[in-house]
Amino acid sequence: MDQNKAEIAKDFPPFFRVHKNGLIDRYIHTDFIPPSQHPQTLVQSKDVIISQQNKLSARIYLPKSAVSNNHTRKFPLLIYIHGGAFSVQSPFSSIYHTYLNNLVSESEVIAVSVDYRLAPENPLPACYDDAWSVFNWVFSHSGKKIQDFPGPGKPEKPEPWMSDHVDYTRVFLAGDSAGANIAHDLLVRASSKNLKLEGMILIHPFFGNGKKADKLWEYIYPGTSGVHDPRLNPAAHVNLLKKLSCKRIMICVAEEDELRKRGWYYYESVKRSGWNGEVEIVETKGESHVFHLLDPCCENAGIFMKQVASFINKIGFSAL
């Protein structure tokens, strides 16, 4: 027997494996791109510390027009949660930094890209709590009292990009894969505080299908309630869905993605729930999971970018 294999306690390719001595190896190594002014889009970015305690941070993106409008115009806000099976990737990687620069430019939004603690070193619900802390930090700049949104997100100093440029009546949540799962949890929490958002964009969401538990999910979330955990399988909770406090939801699936059926199941459940809002689903033909991140220059990625931007700006969109 291979000695290396004998020493492995858990293996979840292509994400990570855990050795019997507790050592964690990741199959995917994430690079780091510093904030900057993007040379093609002229989008500016900066990193902010949200909580020293958890080393929680985020990257903020400012569109070109926000830099030159002398603070007279307010922009929609997009809170974005990166994917990666709760265990890999970062908002500071080249994949997500490139995507957010392009999305901010195309949509003309302010974006906050959340850096949450990764599993398995930080078991779930750490990622959910980190995202909620950033959410609180964001809304602490809105003029609302922070006690209305309990959590550790109150800033020591206000961030001018948030105070000067954001229209807090037009806030969107978005994420891909596991990030879409986390974004949905944020909306559930915000709904419990009677805070109404403009919309939510779920890109190739990682949800359960109610048939069997996901082994990775079980390992990184030891406190899960199982196959129908509302965080894993919100489609099974009609009362939760009908209370979602946003105006519009966009669900994005890809024809060749193994998670495609989960996105459709969620869409159909929202439709059946009696939720009082607009829900749409967009399916990209001939593409697989997060194709737009892996091949951002392909034709379908460009079309998909415009569909997301159109949803944010309420221009309207159509499926491929």
Could you give the count of Cα atoms lying within 13 Å of 284 in the half-sphere of its Cβ?
26
Q: Which two tokens stand for residue 198?
A: 């403009």
pLDDT band at 68 (very low <50, low <70, confident <90, very high): confident
Taking residues 71-75, what's their average pLDDT?
81
* pLDDT higher than threshold 50 for residue 31: yes
Mapped onto helix, strand or coil, the DSSP state of residue 83 is: coil
Neighbours of 105 (CB within 10 A): 20
pLDDT at site 156: 60
- Quick one: pLDDT at residue 208? 86
Query: Which domains does the chain carry?
Result: 1-29 (no CATH), 31-313 (3.40.50.1820)
Q: Is the pLDDT of residue 219 over 90?
A: yes
Q: How confident is the model at residue 314 (pLDDT cuts 50, 70, 90)?
A: confident
Give the pLDDT confidence score for residue 54 in this predicted structure.
81
Task: Please state, in angstroms and rounded to a whole number, the distance separating the CA atoms of residues 129 and 109.
Answer: 25
Alpha-carbon distance of 319 to 270, in angstroms, equals 19
pLDDT at residue number 267: 98
What does the DSSP assignment read for 283-309? EETT--TTHHHHSTTSHHHHHHHHHHH
Which pLDDT belongs to residue 320?
Answer: 41
Question: In sequence order, which ranges of the chain are alpha helices (DSSP H)?
Answer: 3-6, 64-68, 94-107, 126-139, 160-165, 178-192, 215-220, 238-241, 260-273, 291-294, 299-313
Find tokens 């003029």 and name the residue: 143
Average of per-residue pLDDT across 250-273:
97
pLDDT band at 55 (very low <50, low <70, confident <90, very high): confident
State the pLDDT at residue 73: 85
* C-alpha to C-alpha distance for 293 and 89, rounded to whole angstroms: 12
The mean pLDDT value of the chain amounts to 91
* Distance, CA of 186 to CA of 80 (rounded, Å): 11
pLDDT of residue 144: 67
Single out the catalytic residue among 107, 177, 269, 273.
Answer: 177
- Burial degree of 239 (CB within 10 A; 0-12, 13-18, 19+): exposed
pLDDT(316) > 80: no
pLDDT tens column, 33-47: 999 999 999 999 999
Tell me the one-letter amino acid at 216: L
Q: What is the pLDDT of residues 104-123, one digit of tens each?
A: 999 999 999 999 999 999 99
Q: Please give the pLDDT value at position 6.
A: 55
Active site residue 288: no
